[in-house]
Structure 1
Amino acid sequence: MTAITLGQAATLALGGMRARGSERMSTRATAAPRIHITGAPVRRDSIEAGTFEDMFFAVPARGECDRLLRIARVMLDAGRKLKRAARAEGRHLTRSERLVAALGAGAVRIYEELLTLARLNRGRVYPSYDRLAERTGLGRATVARGLAQLEAIGLLVRQRRFRRVEGAGPGPRYAQTSNVYRPTPPAGLPARILAHLPRWMQPAPLPDDEIQREADRQGETQAMLATLSCRDLARATLGGPLGRMLARLGAGIDRRECESHEEPQPMTDSI
């Protein structure tokens, strides 16, 4: 594993792809979006439905959804104050403050609906845009904009999905389906949110023994990963097509190292 690292293997594997991609750079601006065989485009970063949801969803703790909704309403008030200060004082807002100021009442209403679904369905939240528009009385464009605001500020995690559809002809067929959503738990909220919360709403700091336990766990994980072969390291740390490709590259590297151990004679001595 010391001969070639996993990062170097990835660089070698992706080098040809970058070279081919640079040849198409001049025409990329005018190229039409890729249309799948179903006639409908599949959005970038989508994952096949039914392959990851059990690891994505999380059952909210008791009272957690109500607490998150109170936090969102506090953030809405904080954003309004920031906008008034910017208009009255000519103050330039930081990037984090602009994200807070961009949060609208429509986004908080959508967040309330998602939290209700999370509480009723044990964290399994995957409504369509049309369903959210119907339940909140907002337009579809407002729903899309509100979800983007919630994701940008850190209150929500969203993952696009696609599904396989039946059809005649060779090859699989795909179509976009509804996204899945997971509210960020209070302990995982980013600093740009915590900075605007009163002290009583902020999560309690972790005890020292819990911090030490987490540090020990991370150290053990790193020590375990250091003992893996290139193939096993790729399987343990990456998934999807890239993980499978790097696992095949790692297997080749492992075979080469095995051969070098079996034939320790330097190449210069054999010439």
Structure 2
Amino acid sequence: MRRIARAEGRQLTEDERLATLITNTALRVFEQLTTLARTCAGKVFPTWEWIEAAAGVSRASVGRALVALASMGLLDKQRRCVPIDPPADRPKARNAQTSNVYRMSFPNRLARFLPRRLRPVPLPDDVVQREVDRIEQIEVMRLWRSPRQVVAEEIEDAGLRQVLDSLAIAIEKQESQKNGQPLLDSYDLRTNGVGLVGQRPNA
């Protein structure tokens, strides 16, 4: 990709730049993590020592590979800690990290760099259109939400949600007290007839 970009006299796109981050070491580390995920029902929290031994690379190479995989969007990680008694040199410490929890994924923007035989089969047009219609219908329904529903669904902070909920209740109460303009011509009890205009008294 770098050679093609130089020949075309342009810079690499962001997707192309991410694809060039992969190395043989990163690929070996990724293979070991995906194998561990298949054999351990998706529970992937190995230590760096295990990754070093399984992939046959150094500790520094493991660190570089994990950074590259995370930058490409192939790997998400979260610290895994256990409670400890504060040591003398760290009196405020309450937890100690034991390992990381890893979750593998494959972003769609990198799929076009795969060989053709490994690319996912595109969805049929009717399936894509149904999904577009479903998203549009959801957006339309969201437009009809009441103020209290908007606050409940979109505000995460409990204190702010309580304040805005009180404001939303006041707004809904004010709106409910508004009376619409009566339709004076919709009925006429003085005229015999049927329909909106000229209804009979006993209609």
TM-score by length of 1: 0.50
Deviations 1:31-54, CA, capped at 9 Å, x for gaps: xxxxxxxxxxxxxxxxxxxxxxxx
Paired AA for residue 112 in structure 2: A
Paired AA for residue 203 in structure 1: P
Match of 2:99 among 169, 175, 178: 178
DSSP-derived class of the 1:218 partner: helix
Identity of paired residues, percent?
A: 30
Does 1:217 find its partner at 2:134?
yes
Where structure 2 has 5 or more consecutive residues not aligned to the other structure, the ranges are 87-92, 179-203
Does 1:206 find its partner at 2:139?
no
Distance 1:236 1:197, change over 3 A: same
TM-score by length of 2: 0.64
DSSP-derived class of the 2:31 partner: helix
Q: What displacement does 1:146 show? A: 0.9
Does 1:255 find its partner at 2:177?
no
Does 1:160 find its partner at 2:78?
yes
Aligned-residue CA RMSD (Å): 3.6
Q: Aligned partners of 2:82, 2:162: CA distance in 1, in Å?
A: 26
Q: What displacement does 1:251 show? A: 1.4
Does 1:111 find its partner at 2:25?
no
Contact 1:231 1:249 in 2 (8 A): no
Deviations 1:155-177, CA, capped at 9 Å, x for gaps: x2414245573669xxx955545
DSSP-derived class of the 1:179 partner: strand
DSSP-derived class of the 1:204 partner: coil
- Greater share of helix residues, 1 or 2? 1
Q: What displacement does 1:221 show? A: 2.7
Contact 2:70 2:76 in 1 (8 A): yes
**Higher RCO (C-alpha 8 Å, min separation 6):** 1
Matching residue of 1:18:
none
Alignment: residue pair count: 172
Match of 1:127 among 27, 42, 46: 46
Q: What displacement does 1:212 show? A: 2.3
Q: Based on CA coordinates, which of the two structures has the bigger radius of gyration?
A: 2
Deviations 1:15-36, CA, capped at 9 Å, x for gaps: xxxxxxxxxxxxxxxxxxxxxx
Deviations 1:159-207, CA, capped at 9 Å, x for gaps: 4245573669xxx95554533333225xxx333x233223222111111
